[in-house]
Each structure stands twice: as C-alpha cells, then as structure tokens.
Structure 1
Amino acid sequence: MAVSERRGLGRGSPAEWGPRLLLLLLLGGCSGRIHRLVLTGEKRADIPLNSFGFYTNGSLEVELSLLRLGLQEKEEKSLLMGFSLSRVQSGSSRSYSTRDFRDCPFQKNSSNFLVLFLINTKDQQVQVRQYGEQKKLLISPGLLPDLPSEPGLPKPGPTATPKVDSGAIAVNKAKPQPAVSQGPGRKGKELVLGLGHLNNSYNFSFHVVIGSRAEEGQYNLNFHNCNNSVPGKEHPFDITVMIREKNPEGFLSAAEIPLFKLYMVMSACFLAAGIFWVSVLCRNTYNVFKIHWLMAALAFTKSISLLFHSINYYFINSQGHPIEGLAVMHYITHLLKGALLFITIALIGSGWAFVKYVLSDKEKKIFGIVIPLQVLANVAYIVIESREEGASDYGLWKEILFLVDLICCGAILFPVVWSIRHLQEASGTDGKVAVNLAKLKLFRHYYVMVICYVYFTRIIAILLRVAVPFQWQWLYQLLVEGSTLAFFVLTGYKFQPAGDNPYLQLPQEDEEDVQMEQVMTDSGFREGLSKVNKTASARELL
C-alpha cells in the first residue's frame, strides 16, 4: 500500500472523481521537486524513487526518516537492502531495467550502478560503495544547510538533521565532505554513515553533490530490498523517504529548465492562431458553422493550458513546488483541452455541421467511446502528476494512460474512414460527382494529417526523447507542441469558412460540369475516359 503527500483518488463513483480531484489538488498539492514518499506494507524488491538530470554543482539530498521492517531482531541482521544511484547515458530509460531482479545489486554489482548505500542493521551503519571511474561525486552524511536569505546572514541551522545514535559518526554539515576511506572497499573508496535506531525503526540521511562536468547526467535513485526478490517469500516493510534535487539554476531537472520559456512561447503561438481564426470567422460570417467556433475554443483552451503549465514550471524552479491554485487551473484546462481536441477531430471527420446535422448510429457509438476514454485518460494524467514515482500504483496509472490514449487515437480515425467510403460510393450514384470527388480528396488529406499528428506526437517524439542526451530531452515537448500547432493550422486552412472551400460548397447544376472538369483533370481521373454532357446536348437541340 502506498501513501504519499500527493494523495490518490481513492474509491468512489465516476461522478465523485471531479470534486475529489479538485480536493486532491487543493489540499495535497504537487510538491514539485521536493518529494516525500510514504509506503506502508510494501513488498516490492526494487522501488524506483526518482530520476533527475544534474548539472555541475547540482545536489541530491535523501532523508530516510523511517524504515520499519516488522521482523525479529535475528532476521533483521541478515537483511540486504539500501539505495542505489545510477546514471543513464542517454534517454530516460532506467538503467537497471535490463537487470535480472533476482540478482541483488549488493551481492553482484551491475556496471550501471555508481553508488550503493548498503544498510547494515547489525552494526547500525550504512556502507557507501562507489564504482566506476566517476570519483568526483561528493557524498556526505546529513542534509545540506539552507542558504542564507541575505549575504552575510547565516541561517539558524540545517533544514533537517539525521537521527542517529550517540555512537554515530560526527560530521561537519556546513559544506559537502568527500568520501573518506574507512575499511577496504571493493572497487573504490568507502564511506560509512551512521544508522539511527528508534522505536523499532531505522533512519539516516545523506547528500550527493555533482563535482564536475564529467559527472553531469541523468541520475536514477532506487531503493532495493533483496529479501523480497523471491516471489512468494516477500516480507512487508514500511518506509518514509524525503528526496530533494536541485541544480544551480533551481529545482528543475536539466531537461526541464527550458520548459518555462517553451510553454510560454507556444502559449503565445496558440493565442495568436486563435485570434487570427476568430478574425477569419468574423470576415466570413455567411459560411461559419458551429464547429468553427468549437475550433476557436480549442485553440484558446490550449493556449491557457500551456500558460498555466509554464507558470507552474516557473514556481517549481524557484520554490520547489507549484502554486496550488495555478495547478488546479492547469489541470482543469488540460481536461477541457483533451476533450475538445478529440471531439473536434471526430466531428470534422464525420462531416457534422458542414454537410449534415445528424450523426449516424455508428458515429454516436464512437463519441460514446472516445469521450469517456478521454476523461479516463485525463484522470490518469492527473493521478500520475499527483503521485510519486515510487508509489506502488504509479506504473499502473502510467500504463492506463498510454493504453487509453492509443485507443482514443485509433477511434477518432473511424469517422474519417467512414466519410471517405461514403463519398467514394456517392461520387458515382447521386449525380454530384465533382463536389463529392473534391470532398473525397480533402478527406484523404485530413486522414493523412491525423495519422501524421498521432505518429509524431506518440511515436517519433518518444523515440527522440530516448535518443537525445539528457539536457536536450526538452526537444520531446517541442516536437509535441510544434506538431499540435501545425495540425491546428493545417486543419483551419483546410476547413476555413470560405466560399470556394469544396467541403462547404453547395452543388449547383449550372456549375457541376465546370467543377467536374476541374476535379477530373486535377486528379487524373479524366485520362482515358469520355463523358456525355446531357445538359449541353439538350441546349444544342434547342
């Protein structure tokens, strides 16, 4: 069971989710890059705590305030557990994902691990083992002190102090201390930290400072309980851990530092696109339909959502956590944006309001599937944002979000496919061949646009995130938002309320022959074909 300061939804009917989500954000809030994870009755052998991109002089602080094993004293002395710190060379994939989880990292180290913090309950100490060639990681007991509010004015003391027994090693917390060799290390220097023991629980703290450019990178912090690696023989334990990461410029990870400016610029772009679209609608009021205003609402909602997202990142970078009210507004606008996006795409694909005002039974079923799934996908997104990465249900909600998003992307293609099939059949039967062929060509373009949008934002962007170095992973968000803006602009251009738009054009018998001539010439359908013009023949006879 996982409990966190970012509390989950709990149980209840779907109608209660909205108020609970709002209450969740108002009370618990999002703690940003200062994490506090509380796990009770945990049985996992490996717990991914966090991933963060550090620059030079960046710091990682960890305080294990409670570790309760619930075992007898003799059983506790033989346990193998502790923290591991690893670095990912590129992308965001966790470095231990290829490791066999039955192999304990404290018995047989993987080359991916840089530092291991082995908790020794028998001797009440924590052995720090360093591996690899990176020797400039400054590892010291305790937490870093708070910086003075004004130059020359010292703070009263550190933010927190490790709770250790009287026999623990005394250290100077004023500045990071390099690891000191105390006993034989396996492949490098070894530091011994004091392990506090109080009321059948253990506690200690440490901090790591990135000492040079050679140590910059994406680091993963994990907790391991090797005694739970055998299925069916797990021993539940309780753990409470606080994690605080920081770069010289603020609390944001290296890949997240540019996001404040990126989202602000993209918000301005979507706002400009929305204003231009409204001006187009005002100039062509005769050909404007309800769905045109829905497209305008989507652009403005997207702009507002990005604005609140940008402001959240600003406060996270400066304070370590966002402003609760702004976070609530971001989630609300994100919910509206997600629903409006898929509804608008599906309505345009079905031809609603342009050529018909009634949806077919099949199209109604698609809307009955897409809208609830989009609500579920946005709920999953909010739950993921409000939960710690180490929570037991974090991975489940992440998988739900990915699966539901793919289902929605596939479902919105069906109305477009059905419209293309309908126009193919109608082009040879209802006598309005020219207009139907023009609409068919436009629908095929729209189908390709939707496919490209889904492909770039769901596949190419993810591959880019894995391939680029840690400090360039913000290009993933740039590609997603840029693709979305391009999709919005192309959709508006294709379905603009203009008199010569084939999608909005009403067929007239006097113009049908001219339109047929143009469409068949442009599409190549005229090659090798002949046509009898009944209207022209009748006029010749007169």
Structure 2
Amino acid sequence: MDVRVELSDSNPDGGEDPVAMIYSFAVCYGVFLIAWLHRTLARGCSTARPVHDVMSGLLAALMLHCLTAAAHDGRYTSVVAGTARGWNVPCLALRLVKNAMLFPVVALIGAGWSLPEPFVQARELNVLTAMVPLQVYMAIATTLSGDGGVAWTWGHAFVLVQLACCVAVLMPMGRAIRALRKEADTDDKAARRLGKLALFRQLYLAVAVYLYHTWMAVFILKLLVGASSGYRWASVAVDEAAALAFYLFMFCMFSPAEEDIQLEEYTEELIQGGV
C-alpha cells in the first residue's frame, strides 16, 4: 500500500512565528557589541581589562545565538527519520556557550577583575570559587534538560539551585559590607572597599532577579498564552527583553571608561546614607 500525504501551513498571521522579533534582538546585540568594542578597543581605554574581552565574547555569543535561534524557528530545520538536522545544532551549541559564559563573567567582575586591582578577600573568593563551577554546571544542565516532561521539571530545579548559589554569594558580601560600614568613616581604604562590595552586591542581586524572572514570569506567561495559541511570540519577547535589559545593566555598570568615577560617587553615597 502506498500512502501520499501532503501538508501545508499557510501561517496567515504569523502569530506563532517570532522570527522577525528574534532577528531584531540580534541586531540590538550587534549594535551593543560594536559600541562595547569601540569603548574597550578602538578608543584605547587604559582601564580596560582582560575580563572586558571575555565580556565581548559573551556579547558575540548572544548575538549569534539569536541569529541561529531565528533561523531554527524559521522552519529551516529538516527532519529525516525522526532526527532533526539543521539549525538546531548550532542553536543548541551557542545556547550552551552563552549560558556557560554568564556566571564566570559575573564571578570575574564580582571578584574585582574588571578593576585595576582585585579586592576580594580570601574567604569571599573561596565562596566564589565553590559556587561558579556549580552555577556553570547547572546552566548547562538547564540548557540540555529540554522543555517538557520530567526533563522540564529538572530544568526548573536547576534554576532553583542557581538562585541558591546567588544567595550563597550574597550572604558573605552582606556581612563584609556591614563590617566595613563601621570602619568607613575613619579608614579611606575601607570606605573604598565598601563601595566596591556594595556595587558588586547589586550585580548579584540583578542576576538573582534575572534568573527568577526567567524561571517564574516567563513560565507563567507561557501557561497563559498556551503553546498552540497565536501569541507564543509574547513569551519569547519578554524573555529576550529581560535578557537584553540585564546585560545592558551589567555592561554599563562595569564599563571600563567610567568604573573608577562611578565607584567613588557610589562610595560617597553609601557613607552619607549609612547603607
């Protein structure tokens, strides 16, 4: 018996197709990368550090991931005998790269390597050293866990572990900030270290908020719009917009051209406000 089946998908409204929107985020990351390279390389910035080059690589991975994700979601993937071959392979590879690079970059910044002289003490550095490999492992596991069934449940458990790692890093920073507040009025060195620690605590708080948003807000939105509705693009838009806002916050806060001035101003505000 010979069976011939023809299927067609006219997709008249494109409601489920977020390809154009993902391409727009890729353009945003491309412009962001060019501006970042101009600040760190073209202008010959004297305060640029090797970690800023790693941050450039992270931006490049984000841009390329958006491009491959758009191509993959644009129905360029061919399926032969149940095995998908095409844009899904580079899309998954770049997703692994960008997720695995995020926490080492945050840790390098948090350890002070974006500054002329790292400042983190041995105890805080030990916490970072213990948490970062676990966070990288969890990020990779979350990427590979998939979007459904038991793997979907494990993926959300991995996000909870990442949030716990952020809390574990924030706690010693909070204790150090409270101790340095007592010395800041009489010791200029302690006052400057107070400003640095408080600034990097803001970074880890931003990471925790970003992870919680990705885990909870996007998940709820996906449930509301439904997998088969014409508004699947909404959850993609919220997810990508949150990621772009987080990276803009992190990169602008630790821009090599302004970090020293920003730290001095922030330290004065902390001392005056008693934070």
TM over 0.5: yes
Q: Does residue 467 of structure 1 match 2:227? A: no
Any unmatched runs of 5+ in structure 2? none
Partner of 1:370: 135
Partner of 1:396: 150
Contact persistence 1:301–1:336 (CA under 8 A): yes
- Superposed CA RMSD in Å reads 3.5
- The structure-2 alpha-carbon separation of the partners of 1:246 and 1:404, relative to structure 1 and needing over 3 Å to count, comes to farther
- The structure-2 alpha-carbon separation of the partners of 1:303 and 1:245, relative to structure 1 and needing over 3 Å to count, comes to farther
Partner of 1:79: none
Partner of 1:281: 40
Partner of 2:91: 330
- The structure-2 alpha-carbon separation of the partners of 1:356 and 1:395, relative to structure 1 and needing over 3 Å to count, comes to same
Contact persistence 1:437–1:519 (CA under 8 A): no
> Aligned partners of 1:439 and 1:402: how far apart in 2?
32
Contact persistence 1:497–1:504 (CA under 8 A): no
- Structure 1 stretches of 4+ moved >4 Å: 319-323, 502-505
Tell me, what secondary structure is at the counterpart of 1:351?
Answer: coil
- The 5-angstrom pairing of residues 231-250 of structure 1 reads 247-249=9-11
Name the structure where strand makes up a greater proportion of residues: 1
Contact persistence 1:343–1:367 (CA under 8 A): yes
Partner of 1:299: 59
String of CA shifts for 1:219-245, please: whole Å, max 9, x gaps.
xxxxxxxxxxxxxxxxxxxxxxxxx97
Residue 423 (structure 1) shift: 3.3
- Tell me the TM-score normalised to structure 2 length: 0.79
Tell me, what secondary structure is at the counterpart of 1:423?
Answer: helix
Residue 260 (structure 1) shift: 1.0
Q: Does residue 425 of structure 1 match 2:179? A: yes
Any unmatched runs of 5+ in structure 1? 1-156, 161-243, 385-393, 506-513, 527-542
- The structure-2 alpha-carbon separation of the partners of 1:323 and 1:468, relative to structure 1 and needing over 3 Å to count, comes to closer
Q: Does residue 519 of structure 1 match 2:273? A: no
Residue 364 (structure 1) shift: 1.4
Contact persistence 1:268–1:303 (CA under 8 A): yes
Residue 444 (structure 1) shift: 4.3
When Rg is computed on C-alpha atoms for both structures, the one with the higher figure is 1
Tell me, what secondary structure is at the counterpart of 1:501?
Answer: helix
> Aligned partners of 1:379 and 1:515: how far apart in 2?
40
* Identity score, percent: 19
Contact persistence 1:274–1:296 (CA under 8 A): yes
Partner of 1:263: 22
Partner of 1:487: 246
> Aligned partners of 1:433 and 1:299: how far apart in 2?
34
Partner of 1:343: 104
Which of the residues 175, 191, 207 maps onto 1:450?
Answer: 207
Residue 489 (structure 1) shift: 0.6
Which of the residues 221, 224, 235 maps onto 1:476?
Answer: 235
String of CA shifts for 1:243-282, please: whole Å, max 9, x gaps.
x9753228xx96532x111211111111111111111112
Task: Read off the aligned partner of 1:487 and give its amino acid letter.
Answer: F
- The structure-2 alpha-carbon separation of the partners of 1:412 and 1:452, relative to structure 1 and needing over 3 Å to count, comes to closer
> Aligned partners of 2:202 and 2:11: how far apart in 1?
45
- Tell me the TM-score normalised to structure 1 length: 0.43
Task: Read off the aligned partner of 2:234 and give its amino acid letter.
Answer: L
Name the structure where helix makes up a greater proportion of residues: 2
Partner of 2:260: 501
String of CA shifts for 1:284-316, please: whole Å, max 9, x gaps.
531112221121111110110110111112234
Partner of 2:144: 379
Which of the residues 397, 400, 407 maps onto 2:161?
Answer: 407
> Aligned partners of 1:350 and 1:418: how far apart in 2?
13
- The structure-2 alpha-carbon separation of the partners of 1:398 and 1:304, relative to structure 1 and needing over 3 Å to count, comes to same
Residue 504 (structure 1) shift: 6.4
- The 5-angstrom pairing of residues 139-178 of structure 1 reads 159-160=4-5
> Aligned partners of 1:341 and 1:411: how far apart in 2?
14
- The 5-angstrom pairing of residues 185-200 of structure 1 reads none
Task: Read off the aligned partner of 1:159 and give its amino acid letter.
Answer: R
> Aligned partners of 1:260 and 1:520: how far apart in 2?
45
- The structure-2 alpha-carbon separation of the partners of 1:270 and 1:499, relative to structure 1 and needing over 3 Å to count, comes to closer
> Aligned partners of 2:266 and 2:161: how far apart in 1?
39
- The structure-2 alpha-carbon separation of the partners of 1:380 and 1:464, relative to structure 1 and needing over 3 Å to count, comes to closer
Tell me, what secondary structure is at the counterpart of 1:249?
Answer: coil
Contact persistence 2:79–2:85 (CA under 8 A): no
Residue 401 (structure 1) shift: 1.7
String of CA shifts for 1:110-154, please: whole Å, max 9, x gaps.
xxxxxxxxxxxxxxxxxxxxxxxxxxxxxxxxxxxxxxxxxxxxx
